[in-house]
Amino acid sequence: MDFTILPEQDALREEIIRFARTHLNHEESFTVFSKEMWRSTAEFGLFGLCVPAEYGGLCESYLTAALTMEALGYACHNNGFIFAVTNHMWVGLNLILLYGSAEQKARYLPEMIEGKRIGAMAISEADAGSDANAMLTTAVQDGEEYVINGSKIFISNGTNADVLIVFANCADNGRKQVAALIIDKENDGVHVGANIKKMGLDSCPMAEISFTGCRISKRNLLATVEAGDSIMKSALEWERCYEFASHVGTMQRIMEMCLKHVQERKQFGKPLSEYQAITHKISDMKVSIEMARRMMYDIAWRKDLKKNAYLEASIFKLYTSEAYIKTCRDAMQIFGAYGYTKEYGLEREMRDALACSIYSGTNEIQRNTIYTLAALGL
């Protein structure tokens, strides 16, 4: 495995850092979704990062994408907006790219790359969060159509999404299976609830979405019914890698804030950098960043080789989420009362970070997955 960063990859990373610092840190957009920032991001070309040129994409590697997501987290302070972007790219657009028919790709990918249509994935239900197999939403075949009934909750990009990747129970040939379906928001029978108020990530809207007699063409089925469960597992794998890649960059940014602070702030006549109780917290941050970054590179390398990375993605998600939360907590301690104020932004970073131990599968579920696969010798 050679993870040497090529000059062109480094140039793209620097380019996204400049772009994000210039266009994605508007103070007024930390609490609401910014359509202006979304348009700028689309024009920059980020949404089509790994998509073939025939659909308007840049055809970059998945390793390059990981570097880019890390750079985005480093330079953009708006974690909610990043969350909206990664949901659109990795569990919306990317699933159509990987599993869609030629007709589906031609119909959806260009407009999603251009930012004209926003993507989202709908798995979670009120009584089926970590236990996705308990979902009650159904897709019943009726001639050349599927009729969808049920309700999904905590859907990121929910109020904004135009294209939904919905997972539903589908009885096919007498067997209960999970189907992955592309549903347009404008379809009759799609009902989008109000924005759910959250502790953090305010600029990524979240909503409940329900389906009442929603009819869609069989052409909107992703791959086959038999492939639905595999697609769902694949979606979680991609999500756990590329949503958390940005957190590696965010941890780097927070660590650099702390380094600057401990060199400038004095207590008892000495800079904080002379107190090991403080500097060891920053050492821990550095260790976490380097370990997470190497895991991220390994997963991206596997994806470029079309290898499975389900175990690796679970480990990465678990490790990175807990390191990210600890980094924010330690940064607040290093900054003391200043860290608790709105001015420095660390209290917002802390609130945003806390959710990452829940989304993409709770950390308890990741530990279950890791144990199960380890017990099988994988």
Is 264 considered catalytic here? no
Between the alpha carbon of residue 234 and those of residues 96, 257, 289, the distances in Å are: 12, 36, 25
Task: Catalogue the E-assigned strands of the chain.
Answer: 119-122, 138-142, 145-156, 163-172, 175-184, 190-192, 206-217, 266-267, 270-271
DSSP letter for 51, please: S
Q: Are 16 and 72 in contact (CB under 8 A)?
A: yes
Which residue of the set 125, 208, 237, 239 is catalytic? 239
Own/partner long-range contacts of 297-300 (Cβ < 8 Å, ≥24 apart): 297/1, 297/3, 297/63, 297/66, 298/1, 299/66, 299/241, 300/61, 300/62, 300/63, 300/65, 300/66, 300/241, 300/245
Token output for 126: 């009120």
Q: Are 293 and 317 in contact (CB under 8 A)?
A: no
The span from the CA of 132 to the CA of 128, in Å, is 5
Residues annotated as catalytic (active site), given as ranges: 239
